[in-house]
Structure 1
Amino acid sequence: MEGTRIKRASFYELVRSFEKSLGYKNDIKWTSFIAITLYHILGVYWCYHYAFPVKWPTLVFAAIMYVASGFGITGGAHRYWTHKAYKAKLPLKLFLMVCFASAGQNSIKQWVRDHRIHHKFSDTEADPHNANRGLFFSHIGWLMMKKNDEVLQAGKQIDMSDIENDVHLQIFEKYFNYIKLVFCYILPTTIGIWLWGEDWRCSVAWQCFIRFLTMFHSELTVNSLAHAYGYKPYNRNIIPAENRFVATCTLGEGWHNYHHAFPFDYKAAEHFDFLNFGTWFIQFFEKIGWAYDLRQATPGMINSIAKRLGDGTPVHFPTSECVE
């Protein structure tokens, strides 16, 4: 027994020394590391054996859930709760909560705090997913590690009073794990089984693994790929860049150089890209009266910033005004 403990301690010391040799400042969060790793391994195994044959309604419903869960993140946690880019009436708030729960993310409070830290201390040691630590860390590695001291101290500087004082969010946060279990896993899986007789194993494959993990990694590309590849028409002095691939798979979140220049803009982009589903949905909810006070940068503001700080890449406006 004693020998086993010594071996285990030696293993952990070896891992920590390896981390330090790479310049890592975070300890591995073993519960998260093991859970994330095993979930991916199980997903590959399960989908290899049970994803096919599949009925066409299952594919359509998986696509619908992909868009809905994505909007819960982009239109909800990101543009609405983090940046307050628009205001929402109660029906839309409840809809955003359900969509966010279906994405299987951390709680809205955790999500908002991490993202506000990211904007305030972007790509520094205080950034939870600092892109200077490499693609793996900024993509998913940061979720497998404990936050370093700089991130923890930065978190104490973030004003979260709007989130903490929101009565609806307080209730949502209290029961979040149960709500997430229902709307991310149980309901999406069982709907296909009940309504069109999909095999339960196939339904699990498409909802719990393919749909969930595809959206999960799509959203993570904003932290990794959009901080590594692309052009910078608005601010050449920051790492975030415009990345069409990321914009496509996240349904509108890849215009990242613009977003960091104008984080308050509800579009998170300077133009109305046809794949920017978050923007289209917010505009739809404005038309039916559920969303209002949509904030956006004017062409004059965009033009001025692009001229002073941009890398010279042409920018595109919904009007005829452009950078000369």
Structure 2
Amino acid sequence: MEVETIVQTRSKIVADDDYNAAKNRNKSDKGEMQQPTQIIWKNVVLMTGLHIVSIYAMSQISQLKIFTILFGVLCYITGMVGVTAGAHRLWSHKTYKAKLSLRVILMLMNSMALQNSIFHWSRDHRSHHKHSETDADPHNAKRGFLFCHVGWLFLRKHPDVMEKGRKIATDDLMKDPVVSFQNRFYLPLSITCCFIVPSIIPWYFGGETLINAYCAAALRYCISLHVSWTVNSFAHMFGDRPYDKYISPAENTIVNYFALGEGHHNYHHTFPYDYAASEFGKGWSLSTMFIDFMALIGQAYDRKKVAHETLHARMKRTGKLSNNDAIDGTPLTM
């Protein structure tokens, strides 16, 4: 199936809108932000418990069955693709279309990731793009590395996130019966897919002890969370900006490998409607391979891609080959 190349005129309009929005954000008032300080203790306790179990699991790795480890890797890939190819590229950005059967599969894969429902994940991600690096960005990188990596989950949302987030268009999400179903039954679905199934299968089929199987599932979940968070932190602070030097998102090769193709972040924020989230031929992306395979068997279609003319024109106009200079003279530090 052919990939749909976005016509140059339409791409230039979208690219110009993104470029102008980025310039306006960089020119905005950089005074002290009104940062919320109310801690969400429930999240602190849950995350602390998860990391304690994960540390214990790491100490027991040598005792795990090879089946448990291999199945954990499979679950990691499954959950990550459920986020990257599902919640991110399909539902948040609508970079391609998927038939009902594929949407159901992606919904279950996304439930294994346990990173909030597709509806809430996509709504927050749309806010992140529309208000990137401002107080209305749920994980604003300008508030520091720790905040954009994990701290945003421990603090009440900034009032701007709440106010402007309510204005984000989400009608298309709830019109999808798959998204609506997952949102309604998210807790039992996610607990089953993320912990119960990954614990039962190594125990029943691999001869693993149930406690070790559960701890391995918790470790896999913890690793997948941190890898996903690196897209918000590392890929917003460290790397090159060959497509738009006026925005913080950067090309980060290390993030790209572990996040299965989500590390070309300068490209993605410049051209968010591209289904591959990167230039063709640049980097390794299991997420793009998954979408391409689904297109090959007729489950995915209308994949959108940036026209080469638009890509090169944008690079010439706003790009930068290296990241030696700080954006707006402000060093990017952890």
**Fold agreement, TM-score > 0.5:** yes
Q: Is the 1:72–1:98 contact (alpha carbons within 8 Å) kept by the matching residues of 2?
A: yes
Between 26-35 and 171-180, report the one with greater CA deviation.
Answer: 26-35
Structure 2 residue 301 is the aligned partner of structure 1 residue 292: yes
Pick 1 or 2: higher relative contact order, CA cutoff 8 A, min separation 6.
2
Paired residues, number: 292
Stretches of structure 1 lacking an aligned partner (at least 5 in a row): 1-20, 314-324
Structure 2 residue 184 is the aligned partner of structure 1 residue 182: no
Kindly provide the CA deviation profile for residues 72-95 of structure 1, in whole angstroms up to 9, marking residues without a partner as x: 000000000000000000110011
Kindly provide the CA deviation profile for residues 167-222 of structure 1, in whole angstroms up to 9, marking residues without a partner as x: 2221221111111111111011110111121122221222122x111111101000
Stretches of structure 2 lacking an aligned partner (at least 5 in a row): 1-31, 323-334
Between 178-187 and 39-48, report the one with greater CA deviation.
Answer: 39-48
Structure 2 residue 112 is the aligned partner of structure 1 residue 125: no
CA distance in 2, matches of 1:89, 1:133: 40
Q: Is the 1:233–1:311 contact (alpha carbons within 8 Å) kept by the matching residues of 2?
A: yes
SS at match of 1:52: helix
CA distance in 2, matches of 1:38, 1:62: 20
Structure 2 residue 321 is the aligned partner of structure 1 residue 307: no
CA distance in 1, matches of 2:239, 2:127: 23
CA distance in 1, matches of 2:301, 2:314: 26
Letter in 2 for 1:296: K
1:247 corresponds to:
256
Letter in 2 for 1:213: C
Structure 2 residue 56 is the aligned partner of structure 1 residue 60: no
SS at match of 1:32: helix
SS at match of 1:84: coil
CA distance in 1, matches of 2:74, 2:283: 17
Letter in 1 for 2:109: C
Q: Is the 2:231–2:263 contact (alpha carbons within 8 Å) kept by the matching residues of 1?
A: yes
State the 1:51 CA deviation.
Answer: 3.1
State the 1:235 CA deviation.
Answer: 0.2
Structure 2 residue 96 is the aligned partner of structure 1 residue 90: no
2:17 corresponds to:
none
TM-score with structure 1 setting the length: 0.87
- % of aligned pairs identical? 38
State the 1:23 CA deviation.
Answer: 6.5
Instruction: Give the one of 41, 55, 80 matched to 2:52.
Output: 41
Letter in 1 for 2:38: D
State the 1:273 CA deviation.
Answer: 4.5
Structure 2 residue 272 is the aligned partner of structure 1 residue 263: yes
Supply the RMSD in Å over aligned alpha carbons: 1.7
Letter in 1 for 2:214: V
CA distance in 2, matches of 1:213, 1:125: 27
CA distance in 2, matches of 1:273, 1:253: 12
Structure 2 residue 199 is the aligned partner of structure 1 residue 193: no
Instruction: Give the one of 104, 108, 118 matched to 2:114.
Output: 104
CA distance in 2, matches of 1:24, 1:270: 37
SS at match of 2:63: coil
CA distance in 2, matches of 1:26, 1:98: 35
CA distance in 1, matches of 2:134, 2:248: 11
2:88 corresponds to:
78
Instruction: Give the one of 221, 231, 242 matched to 2:240.
Output: 231
TM-score with structure 2 setting the length: 0.84
CA distance in 2, matches of 1:219, 1:312: 26
Structure 2 residue 132 is the aligned partner of structure 1 residue 116: no
CA distance in 1, matches of 2:165, 2:120: 10
Moved over 4 A (4+): none
Q: Is the 2:53–2:215 contact (alpha carbons within 8 Å) kept by the matching residues of 1?
A: no
Letter in 1 for 2:71: F
**Pair member with larger Rg:** 1
Letter in 2 for 1:141: G
Q: Is the 1:51–1:201 contact (alpha carbons within 8 Å) kept by the matching residues of 2?
A: no
Q: Is the 2:36–2:156 contact (alpha carbons within 8 Å) kept by the matching residues of 1?
A: no
CA distance in 1, matches of 2:38, 2:253: 34
CA distance in 1, matches of 2:54, 2:33: 30
Letter in 2 for 1:44: I
CA distance in 2, matches of 1:271, 1:294: 13
